[in-house]
Amino acid sequence: MKTILSLLLIATITTLQFVSCSNGNETKEQKLADKKLGKIELNIPASLKDKPEILNYVQEMVSLSDEYALLIDEAAEKAAPFKGKKAEDLGMADKIKLTQITSELSFKAIEIIGKWGEYTDKRLSLEKELTEDEAKALESVMNYFEKRMEQIEVKHADLFSEETE
């Protein structure tokens, strides 16, 4: 039986395909993620500053990325006491707690991933309206989410390392 740590690792790796960006106006999620995981600086090209639809999209994606990163971080922190333990060796109370952690993570992640799909469709639409240079610039800030996930992996390396060995 897999432990919660395996499930967290799978969720993190699976979602590394997602990417995000920022417009310079920090959301509450971004401020908290910066505090817990480390600051990520992104600069939006001047050519995009006069395009409110794009700036709004960027802000929403940053918020969504940080919301997901904070969700994974919280689940990893809750799962830390179970590091190195096999599920079949746990008592009933610990199994219930692991089930609760996993269920909360799954439930909240489904909502975030649903929103992510909507924003991905929107990004494809927005890119059609941009010049080639603007599209490249927008694409260059799409690494935000990946950087957040890298921060999670570094912060919780002790949890993930055992599961990948």
Which single residue is written with the structure tokens 């990004």?
123
Give me the number of domains the chain comprises.
1
109, 71 contact by CB (below 8 A): yes
Backbone angles phi, psi at 99, to 5 degrees: -65, -40
**DSSP result, 56-111:** HHHHHHHHHHHHHHHHHHHHHHHHGGGTT--GGGS-HHHHHHHHHHHHHHHHHHHH
Average pLDDT estimate for 71-88: 87
Give residue-wise pLDDT tens across range 2-61.
Answer: 455 554 445 444 443 333 333 446 778 888 889 989 998 877 777 777 778 777 887 888
Quick one: pLDDT at residue 20? 36
- How far is Cα 141 from Cα 139, in angstroms, rounded to an integer? 5
Residue range of the domain that includes 112: 4-164
Average pLDDT estimate for 77-101: 88
Residue 145 tokens, joined: 């989410």
pTM of the complete model: 0.73
**20-24, 82-86, 154-158: least confident range:** 20-24
| Model confidence at 154: pLDDT above 50 | yes
